[in-house]
Chains A and B, each alone.
Chain A
Amino acid sequence: MARFDKLEIGSPGAEPQTGCSPAGEEHNATWWMKQADEQRRCGWYENALRYYSRALEEDKSQVAGWVGQVQMLIALDEPNEADLWSRKALELFPAHGDLLAGRAQARCRLGDFKQAFTLSDGAFQQEGNSAYRWLVRGEIQVAGAKDTDRHCFDKAQLVDADWLVPLEIALVYWHYERPGLGLPRAGRAIEAAPDRYYAWYVQGLMQFELGMNGPARKSLQMCLELSPQHRDAQQRLFELDNRGWSLRRAVRRLFRS
């Protein structure tokens, strides 16, 4: 029995086999992808990026792995690298919708809104639909200070009901220093997945920035209940206990900006 324990014959949850991925390696790639996704949902983007790379080592035809790498590079605040990597991925998967959206997001983070718009348009012209394309579209609107971002983000949530979508929307708002707009999205993520400590942490972060000390403390404590070793949450709680009054936070809290 032990002799055949490590044989990989396939699993019920495995993705359907595609023509360009050799049999036998698919399972491993899928497993790494799942690991990467789990790490991503916990906010460990560095680990997620590593796992996406491991998945691609197993199967380079996993487009989701390439897209995930680009998304993680952006989440890790490395838009230059994300732009470069998305270009490379697009050479392998020409005109892939999500890769185009990933590149659009990277260009947007680099401040090149024109090209970001063009790439985002290109992403929508490709087959299929995804929440990520709408999320990127919304981000470009936020970056360009246009008020149609809400529609795009709502559309993203409609396309995919996963709690990660509103959380990533909240993080987009956070990136553009609009915690007041990101807070309701983080709230939706918590409604959908109250057992995910990262959602609580993101909500606490927004409340912390808005100067909502009580709710922020509650969110961060909730995060620590679910993950007692969460250092960032501990650090934020410490800052919360030791910080003084700030006019900026008061104004932000007043206008929820």
Chain B
Amino acid sequence: MQCCNCRFENMPGVAHCGRCGASLRLATAVIDVHPPRAGALRKRLQGALPGRRAAGRLSNAVRDLMRGVWNRVELPHSLLWPLPWILIPGWPQWSIGQRARGTLFLTVWLLCNLCGLLFFGGPLGNLLLGLGLACHAGSIIDLAFTSVAGGLARTGVIVGGMAITGLLVYRPAAWGIGQIVQPVVITAAAPPFLEPNDVFLYRPAADLPVMPTPGTVVLYNLSRADVASRTGGNQLRFTLEGMRIERVLATAGQKAAFAGGRLTVDGQPSPWLPLNPGRLPDNLTFELTIPARCCLILPTTSPQPELRGRWRQAGQIPEDPIWDAPAALPANSGRGGATTDARPFWERMSVVRVDAVIGSVFLRSQPLSRFERIR
């Protein structure tokens, strides 16, 4: 019997060709000869979609890529979609046998991210985290160039991989970290406590108790105020605004008194002092009860005012507008309009509403030089 596939002459009675293995009883075999067909709806949808060829090529490239990697990795089949390969840099390279390259990607990524978190908030930290991100992107690009054919498919894998990674890894990570800790970088000096480029990490106020306890160092918003002062015969106007870092000294309902450079709260000497006690005026004396939903913060970390031009003369710059202002009436307080509050200006700036607290500061770092826990 001659094989219809390879024309090899086989012995009579054999079922399969001895050369190519084709069945010699095809003519009598029961085989469905009608091919499967694509559904009309599917074809219509494909036709309606723009760029369907490109989309088809792309989806097939991704599917084949994933299938190829899947076959080599032999992961448990409970993982239905091979996301982890893209989400972890270096893993795809490992799974297709390029272990050295995969290890390099993973190591660089881990190093960059760990060091970036170490210097979190500062320019160096941002640079390292950016490098980590670039390393991850490089892993996806490398995967696309080694395992996907065709420029369009490659571009699709790269763009899609990065989008998936950004949405599933970096965006949630940024959100999660932002819920736990956030950085603030000091730009203006307030010596001796604050130096430029200091990075403070703080826990957002959502994690704080309703009322911060005395001794907590907090980041808070200073209520905006325009201050008029007179120095050396010249009229000066300052605008106080922005965020400050200071220690909470007393909370609502407590009686705070300050005399002779010592603070007492409810009649007991307080272990706490402002962060820059040296900037308190020598003759500061007060006794006040902290109103509800407020806390006492003596602001000593305001940056020193800078004057331009002819005002920059020794002796003409006030030491600190907040503490110097009681001598003069404030021009206004809040957003315009004269105030009728008769309290001294420093007192109004020291009694801070709890709503203005942004978070509790717990760590200070000066990149590559020091780390200090704020107590």
Q: Is B159 an interface residue (CB 8 A)?
A: no
CB of B198 to closest CB in A, whole Å: 54
A243 to B31, CA, bound (A): 50
Q: Which residue of B lies closest to A22 (CB)?
A: B27
A93 to B3, CA, bound (A): 10
Q: Is B305 an interface residue (CB 8 A)?
A: no
Q: Are A61 and B4 in contact (CB under 8 A)?
A: yes
Q: Are A94 and B20 in contact (CB under 8 A)?
A: yes
Within 8 Å CB of B24, what residues of A?
Answer: 19-20
Q: Is B314 an interface residue (CB 8 A)?
A: no
Q: What DSSP secondary structure best describes chain B's contact surface?
A: loop
Q: Are B149 and A144 in contact (CB under 8 A)?
A: yes
Q: Is A73 an interface residue (CB 8 A)?
A: yes
Q: Are A57 and B26 in contact (CB under 8 A)?
A: no
Among the 9-residue stretches A2-10, A111-119, A187-195, the one with 4 or more Cβ atoms under 8 Å from chain B is A111-119
Q: Bits for B23-61, please: 1 = Cβ < 8 Å to A, else 0.
A: 111111101011111100001001000000100111011
Q: Are B36 and A93 in contact (CB under 8 A)?
A: no
- With contact pairs A63-B5, A94-B22, A111-B56 given, residues A81 and B28 touching in the complex (Cβ less than 8 Å): no
Q: Is B261 an interface residue (CB 8 A)?
A: no
Contact of B1 among A19, A53, A144 (CB under 8 A): A19
Q: Are B35 and A53 in contact (CB under 8 A)?
A: yes
Q: Are B22 and A92 in contact (CB under 8 A)?
A: yes
Q: Is A84 an interface residue (CB 8 A)?
A: yes
A175 to B31, CA, bound (A): 32
Interface residues on chain A, size class: 35 or more
A115 to B64, CA, bound (A): 10
CB of B85 to closest CB in A, whole Å: 18
A29 to B66, CA, bound (A): 42
- With contact pairs A22-B27, A92-B22, A143-B150 given, residues A85 and B35 touching in the complex (Cβ less than 8 Å): yes
Q: Is B196 an interface residue (CB 8 A)?
A: no
Q: Bits for B60-84, please: 1 = Cβ < 8 Å to A, else 0.
A: 1100100000000000000000000
Q: Is B153 an interface residue (CB 8 A)?
A: yes
Q: What DSSP secondary structure best describes chain A's contact surface?
A: loop
Q: Are B4 and A84 in contact (CB under 8 A)?
A: no
Contact of B25 among A20, A80, A115 (CB under 8 A): A20
Q: Is A125 an interface residue (CB 8 A)?
A: no
Contact of A110 among B9, B23, B60, B151 (CB under 8 A): B60
Contact of B27 among A21, A93, A110 (CB under 8 A): A21
A95 to B27, CA, bound (A): 19
Q: Which residue of A lies closest to B67 (CB)?
A: A112
Q: Is A241 an interface residue (CB 8 A)?
A: no
Q: Is B277 an interface residue (CB 8 A)?
A: no
Q: Is B21 an interface residue (CB 8 A)?
A: yes
Q: Are B149 and A22 in contact (CB under 8 A)?
A: no
A144 to B57, CA, bound (A): 12
Residue of A19, A20, A21, A62 with highest tally of chain B CB at under 10 A: A20
A85 to B38, CA, bound (A): 12
- With contact pairs A20-B1, A96-B5, A110-B60 given, residues A73 and B26 touching in the complex (Cβ less than 8 Å): no
Within 8 Å CB of B36, what residues of A?
Answer: 81, 84-85
Within 8 Å CB of A127, what residues of B?
Answer: 6
Within 8 Å CB of B23, what residues of A?
Answer: 20, 92
A112 to B26, CA, bound (A): 31
Q: Are A73 and B35 in contact (CB under 8 A)?
A: yes
Q: Are A53 and B33 in contact (CB under 8 A)?
A: yes
Q: Bits for A158-198, please: 1 = Cβ < 8 Å to B, else 0.
A: 00000000000000000101000000000000000000000
Q: Are B31 and A92 in contact (CB under 8 A)?
A: yes
Q: Are A110 and B56 in contact (CB under 8 A)?
A: yes
A111 to B56, CA, bound (A): 8
Q: Are B21 and A94 in contact (CB under 8 A)?
A: yes
Q: Is B2 an interface residue (CB 8 A)?
A: yes
Q: Bits for A135-147, please: 1 = Cβ < 8 Å to B, else 0.
A: 0000000011100
Q: Are A93 and B22 in contact (CB under 8 A)?
A: yes
Q: Are A19 and B2 in contact (CB under 8 A)?
A: yes
Q: Are B33 and A56 in contact (CB under 8 A)?
A: yes
> Top 6 closest A-B pairs, CB basis?
A111-B57, A19-B1, A19-B2, A56-B33, A61-B4, A111-B60
**Residues of B near any A CB (own CB < 8 A):** 1-7, 9-10, 20-29, 31, 33-38, 43, 46, 53, 56-58, 60-61, 64, 149-151, 153
Given pairs A92-B22, A111-B56, 6 additional interface contacts (CB within 8 A): A19-B4, A20-B26, A77-B43, A82-B35, A93-B22, A111-B57
